[in-house]
Amino acid sequence: MTSAGDAGARPGRVRVGVSGWRYAGWRGDFYPRGLVQRRELEYIGERMPTAEINGSFYSLQRPESYARWRDSVPDDFVFAVKGPRYITHMLRLRNAATALANFFASGPLALGPKLGPVLWQLPERHRFDADELDAFLNALPRSTTAAADQARHHDARMDGRSWLEVDEDRPLRHAIEPRSETFRDPALGPLLRRHAVALTVADTASRWPRFEATGSDFVYVRLHGAQELYASGYTAEELDEWAARARAWAEGTGSADGRPRDVYVYFDNDARGHAPHDAVALISRLSDVPAPR
């Protein structure tokens, strides 16, 4: 990739959205009163270019669900998909080959060109182990064709409910969100860069560490709340600061190597309904940044 100062280098694309979209407290507030539940994602897609699928963290979803979500949003919409907690919290990234196959067989490939990054969120108790993390990242597929090949090794639980098709081979991005201070290790950056995996920038009201963006050609940001985890809204000044950061990453001025990067920002401060309002407010502050395409 060319640097920001190279002639012809394009700015990165900034996508801002929400972590999930099915919240009862948003109804009659962000969602108009009377909007039927099955149209809530469609409403999101009319106002922002991306969203995280969070249900995949708690359980394997079904291909028909992914297909329905795909068909509910515009062509240029992108979904991030959260990897299963079974892999991150229970297996602790170890011996995960079958679990990875089951996850990729469960339907994310049905999103087609709307499949964006896969997020791997680690528990706070998970300590940095370079060899363990290296082995896990090495097992992740880097393209949709590789993901489909991996998915074919699913176990019997996925028989009759798997999606193994790809309409086109596309790069597949991954981001990791650690929550342990032990990841402030000098070995982490080179390891992530070797695998081209993004280190998530997470704002967590000081509950967990905030790491700097590194590792990949894109930046992944999760805004869980600056003052109260999952609950507080972002002030105008805080939104201005995040807009400036996103713009700098996209232009390359916010990166040590000067390279422009695509940016994905997700608001997860959903407990009191702030997330979608903050997402729309941040989008308005980035109107001068090239739109995703």
pLDDT digits (tens, 9 = 90+) for 117-165: 999 999 999 999 999 999 999 999 999 999 999 999 999 999 999 999 9
Question: Which residues are 174's β-sheet partners?
Answer: 118
How far, in Å, CA of 9 to CA of 4, rounded?
6
CB within 8 Å of 160: residues ≥ 6 apart: none
Average pLDDT over residues 245-274: 93
Band of pLDDT at residue 4, cut at 50, 70 and 90 = very low
Band of pLDDT at residue 9, cut at 50, 70 and 90 = low
Q: Is the pLDDT confidence value at 254 over 90?
A: no
Compute how many other C-beta atoms are within 10 angstroms of the C-beta atom of residue 291.
12
Q: Is the pLDDT confidence value at 114 over 50?
A: yes
The CATH class that applies to domain 14-285 reads alpha beta
Q: Inter-axis angle of helices 274-285 and 236-251, to 10 degrees? A: 50
How far, in Å, CA of 162 to CA of 146, rounded?
16
Provide the percentage of residues in the chain whose pLDDT is more than 90: 91
Average pLDDT, the chain: 94
| pLDDT the model gives residue 126 | 98
Q: What confidence tens digit (pLDDT) does each residue in 42-87 have?
A: 999 999 999 999 999 999 999 999 999 999 999 999 999 999 999 9
| pLDDT the model gives residue 290 | 60
Q: Is the pLDDT confidence value at 230 over 50?
A: yes
Q: What confidence tens digit (pLDDT) does each residue in 82-103 have?
A: 999 999 999 999 999 999 999 9
Band of pLDDT at residue 202, cut at 50, 70 and 90 = very high
* Residue of 203, 108, 214 whose CA lies nearest to 162: 108
Place of tokens 């790069």: 171
How far, in Å, CA of 12 to CA of 249, rounded?
8
Average pLDDT over residues 246-262: 90
pTM of whole model > 0.85? yes
Compute how many other C-beta atoms are within 10 angstroms of the C-beta atom of residue 68.
13
Q: Is the pLDDT confidence value at 293 over 80?
A: no
Do 18 and 48 contact (CB within 8 A), yes or no? Answer: yes
Do 194 and 173 contact (CB within 8 A), yes or no? Answer: no
Provide the percentage of residues in the chain whose pLDDT is more than 70: 96
